[in-house]
């Protein structure tokens, strides 16, 4: 009978296999280069995807959104794109979000653009869906410079993984939510207002 720890390991392995977590440093998923490379590096080294990102990936998986993988080979590197539905020769990428964005998010644009090149399609659509069923759609045409930049970032990540060297910090608004915040930035203490007021003598005792 499996102990609690073995059961947890087995469940994590099953999720990794369902989400197709890559362990070969020559194989880079597009979604690993759409955001902070340093975070993707740590995710690989931890041999795990942080729980929050797992939930997002699982949510996409359970909605049946990421169904098909396509590979792009360049030199000794393989770039892997999650290809969403192809309708009338256009690639459609779905994103489940809490709030509809007013413009496409850069990470989604990079991922869809890579799918267009890897599937050899000219046009695509990004569809954002909220849990209550509201949607907004953006159409895009493929862009070579953006794909070249995606390839360049994949090469950098692959090389640094092989060299065991973490990429440089990529400070952004996502850092506050990132599991590796404390590895990247100095440790800090949090003071509530009343304590701060006492430290700076702003409050009469």
**Applying CB under 6 A, which part among 112-120, 122-130, 145-153, 175-183 lies near ligand SF4?**
175-183
DSSP 3-state assignment of 71?
strand
126 binds ligand SF4 (CB under 6 A): no
107 binds ligand SF4 (CB under 6 A): no
Nearer to ligand SF4, 124 or 167 (CB): 167
Nearer to ligand SF4, 69 or 152 (CB): 152
Could you give the CA distance from residue 31 to residue 68 in angstroms, rounded to a whole number?
Answer: 14
User: Which of 196, 199, 112, 198 shows the shortest CA–CA distance to 150?
Assistant: 112
Site string for ligand SF4, 48-87 (x = CB under 6 A): ----------------------------------------
Task: Tell which one of 28, 29, 31, 38 touches ligand SF4 (CB under 6 A).
Answer: 38
Task: Tell which one of 135, 162, 181, 199 touches ligand SF4 (CB under 6 A).
Answer: 181
| Percent helix / strand / coil, the chain, rounded to 5 | 45, 20, 35
Alpha helices in the chain (DSSP H): 4-19, 37-45, 51-62, 106-119, 144-163, 181-184, 193-199
Q: Which two tokens stand for residue 53?
A: 């990102």
């Amino acid at each position: 009978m499996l102990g609690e720890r073995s059961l947890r390991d087995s469940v994590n392995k099953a999720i990794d296999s369902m989400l197709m977590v890559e362990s070969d440093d020559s194989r880079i998923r597009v979604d690993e280069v759409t955001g902070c490379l340093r975070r993707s590096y740590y995710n690989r080294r931890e041999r795990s995807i942080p729980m929050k990102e797992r939930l997002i990936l699982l949510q996409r998986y359970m909605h049946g959104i990421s169904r098909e993988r396509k590979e792009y080979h360049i030199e000794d590197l393989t770039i892997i794109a999650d290809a969403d539905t192809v309708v009338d020769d256009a690639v459609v990428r779905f994103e489940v979000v809490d709030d509809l964005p007013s413009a496409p998010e850069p990470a989604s644009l990079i991922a869809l653009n890579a799918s267009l090149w890897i599937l050899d399609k000219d046009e695509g659509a990004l569809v954002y869906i909220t849990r209550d069923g509201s949607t907004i759609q953006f159409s895009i045409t493929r862009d070579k410079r953006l794909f070249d930049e995606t390839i360049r970032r994949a090469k950098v990540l692959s090389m640094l993984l092989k060299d065991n060297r973490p990429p440089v910090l990529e400070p952004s608004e996502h850092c506050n939510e990132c599991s590796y915040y404390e590895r990247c930035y100095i440790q800090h203490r949090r003071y509530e207002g009343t304590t701060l007021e006492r430290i700076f003598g702003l409050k009469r005792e």
